[in-house]
Structure 1
Amino acid sequence: MSDIIFCKGGGCTAKLGAGVLGKILEKLPSGDDPDLLVGFGSSDDGAVYRINNRQALISTLDFFPPMVEDPYLFGAIAAANAMSDVYAMGGEVKTALNIVCFPETMDMNILGKILQGGSDKVREAGGVMAGGHSINDEDIKYGLSVTGIVDPEKIYRNNGCRSGDALILTKKLGVGIIMTADRIRQASQDAVKKAIDSMKFLNKYAADILKDYEVHGCTDVTGFGFLGHLCEMLDKRHSAVVESRSIPYFQECRGYAEEFYITAAAQKNRNYVGNQVSFENNDFFMEEILFDPQTSGGLLVSVCISEADEIVEKMKEKNIPAEIVGYVEKRQDKSIIVK
């Protein structure tokens, strides 16, 4: 399969920049329905609509161009990424609809493999693939519209963190850097395999553990990078101290970043939130890791500090590479201080 045709550089690196998107959304009227519990006002991961006192629907969608050459793996990664928003809201996946852009001139067996990868992931999540929509396009894009369900009293909002909370990250950072290096054939097969395994791994398993604890805030780390999504969590009401030595990342990324195998999307993230971040160490690599856009990244969770160690221990027992990466504090001059 031709690199030029199939994999031009996709995943969450293809997202519009947060700055551009924010300027558009702020001009749109917000929903005034009292049963719309979460809309786009707080840049949360999904919309939540209450249908009764015990149940609310989570609605979300996500799709993007390929970031890997294998169509089955692309479908699986895209599906895992789309469903992640439901887990970031504290919900369970129920149904999914395919979103497909595909050239009619291309081998339809490729599309079949993409759809199979997505379908298998939805089944793994315990959901049902219920249909979808496709259009003829010059380029391939794939993803899902996902419906989940959540207790209205147990929604994980992205901006509910509290001063004194610990911040837990459930996946390693650096998939954007690795996949960029891979597109120019500079990444090792081992590094690419690690990145793919991480991207296709469902956040369901981390979310299942979190159900036993009090979660104050949660989001998934995707196209806006660790720092961009953390800024959304803090909501200009809190600040956070990030312990760079505790950040989980793929070791191979250091060499790739030093060779400047980095993405334009990471630089958009730096331009958007860089002035809200204070880096106390002069470490170019760590800055790039923290700005790096993630495809199907981990959950970033704000929890009581007294429960954080136990949560991380339980996640590691399930082979989830979770770490306590920082703490929430009272508002300071900068939103984030990286030590």
Structure 2
Amino acid sequence: MEQQKDEKIIFCKGGGCTAKLGAGILSRVLERLPKGPADENLLIGYDSKDDAAVYRISDDTAIVQTLDFFPPMVDDPYTFGKIAAANALSDIYAMGGEVKTALNIVCFPESMDLNVLGEIMRGGSEKVIEAGGTLAGGHSIADADVKYGLSVMGTVHPDKIYPNNQGRPGDKLILTKKLGVGIVCTANRVKEASDAAMEQAVASMTMLNKSASHICHSYEIHACTDVTGFGFLGHLHEMMDGKLSCRIFADQIPVIKEALDYADEFLLTAAGQKNRNHVGEFVSFENVSFAMEEVLFDPQTSGGLLIAVESQQAEALFEELKQAGHPVAIVGEIIPKAEKEIYVGVL
């Protein structure tokens, strides 16, 4: 029994999207890579800082390719598997695509109970099935720590891709999940999170973005991303792409309430501080609490979609998403490029 207790502590020592490399470090590496000859069929590559690669194979079909994996952020292996899979699948939905196949990515210590690995992969497999995809194989290596995720392939019509950086002035910004899961998981690791807060966080992280993405197909979507490791403001910074600015209404943003309490108690993530260091200079805050600032920088694991929709359609999209059970809100609007990129205040 004592050995199992120790194994659980080793299993979860801080992961999810808080484990991502900082955006600044990543950018410095990527910009130095050789690009190779341009391929006109590569519709979206890493140059756009988008959620996945998109490659056209015919006039009406393009392949969406992505992968994501990370260490555990919860103690239960089965729940971790579901979260990791939902997070990886999300990039297909952020591009407007449909999931087709997935491959497991597994790093696992040979000394650990294989039943733990079985539970992780069971959770992942269930989410792939829920997504309508097929788990077609995978790759594993022995490692000192547990890591799990998926490589996912989907399809999308080449004319119906959701890029992350083609928003237009006047577009309304809609967020489909609550923020704060990174802070809640951090509080949970030091036994400070309530059961209710952790239940909300797990429910959010295991919820696929499939329904939200499908609902968006009926609307004029100019840009979309899922909010993950770079936090709400980091991914919003990528959406503005140096060409646009936006107003964000902090009092309209859906948040796990306890995350604000934990932020006030300085139960913060190192990744959140990296996000602040990377994008803080692009953001202007007015009448926004310290706790809310931290939530906006907080890295999210399997976060919601952040959608730029044509302004006249925003209310209808909001209502349909709400009726489908998403904790959705209209959180801001895109404006022409201004002195600051992101203005955060209250409505």
Q: TM-score range by the shorter chain?
A: over 0.9
Residue 29 of structure 1 and its aligned partner are, at CA, apart by 2.9
**2:321 is paired with a residue of what secondary structure?**
helix
How far the C-alpha of 1:196 sits from its partner, in A, is 0.1
Find the counterpart in structure 1 of residue 86 from structure 2.
80
How far the C-alpha of 1:282 sits from its partner, in A, is 4.5
Question: Contact conserved, 1:30 with 1:41, CA < 8 A, in 2?
Answer: no
Amino acid at match of 1:18: A
> For 1:260-299, what aligned pairs fall within 5 Å after superposition?
260-299=266-305
The Cα offsets for residues 285-332 of structure 1, whole Å up to 9 and x where unpaired, read as 110010000000000000011111111111111110110000000000
Are 1:169 and 2:179 matched, yes or no? no
Counterpart among 131, 150, 153 of residue 137 in structure 2 = 131
In the other structure, the counterpart of 1:20 is 25
The reply on whether 1:154 has 2:173 as its aligned counterpart is no
> Structure 1 stretches of 5 or more lacking a match?
none
Query: Normalised by the size of structure 2, how large is the TM-score?
Result: 0.97
SS in 1 for 2:58: coil
2:69 matches 1:30 = no
Q: 1:292 to 1:162 in 2, by over 3 A?
A: same
Count of residue pairs brought into register by the alignment: 339
Who is 1:203 aligned against? 209
2:28 partner amino acid = K
CA distance in 2, matches of 1:7, 1:13: 13
Q: How many Å separate the matches in 1 of 2:34 and 2:328?
A: 38
Distance (whole Å) between structure 1 residues aligned to residue 279 and residue 325 of structure 2: 32
For residues 219-260 of structure 1, give each alpha carbon's deviation from its aligned partner in whole angstroms, at most 9, with x where no partner exists.
Answer: 000000000000000001000000011010001112111110
Letter in 2 for 1:287: E
- Post-superposition offset of 1:25: 0.4
Which letter does structure 2 place at the counterpart of 1:235?
A: D
The answer (yes or no) to whether the contact 1:102–1:111 under 8 Å persists in 2 is: yes
Runs of 4 or more off by more than 2 Å in structure 1?
1-4
Q: Any conservation in 2 of the 1:169–1:325 contact (CA below 8 Å)?
A: yes
Separation in structure 1 between the aligned mates of residue 211 and residue 291 of structure 2, nearest angstrom: 29
Q: CA RMSD in A?
A: 0.7
CA distance in 2, matches of 1:128, 1:177: 33
Map residues 180-259 of structure 1 onto 2, 5 A cutoff. Answer: 180-259=186-265
Which residue in the other structure is 2:184 paired with? 178
- Equivalent position SS for 1:252: helix
Letter in 1 for 2:252: S
SS in 2 for 1:30: coil
The residue type paired with residue 192 of structure 1 is: M
Amino acid corresponding to residue 332 of structure 1 in structure 2:
A
Mapped partners of 1:214, 1:282: distance in 2: 31
Instruction: Calculate the TM-score normalised by the size of structure 1.
Output: 0.99
Matched to 2:316, the amino acid is E
- Report % sequence identity: 61
Q: Which residue of 1 aligns with 2:110?
A: 104
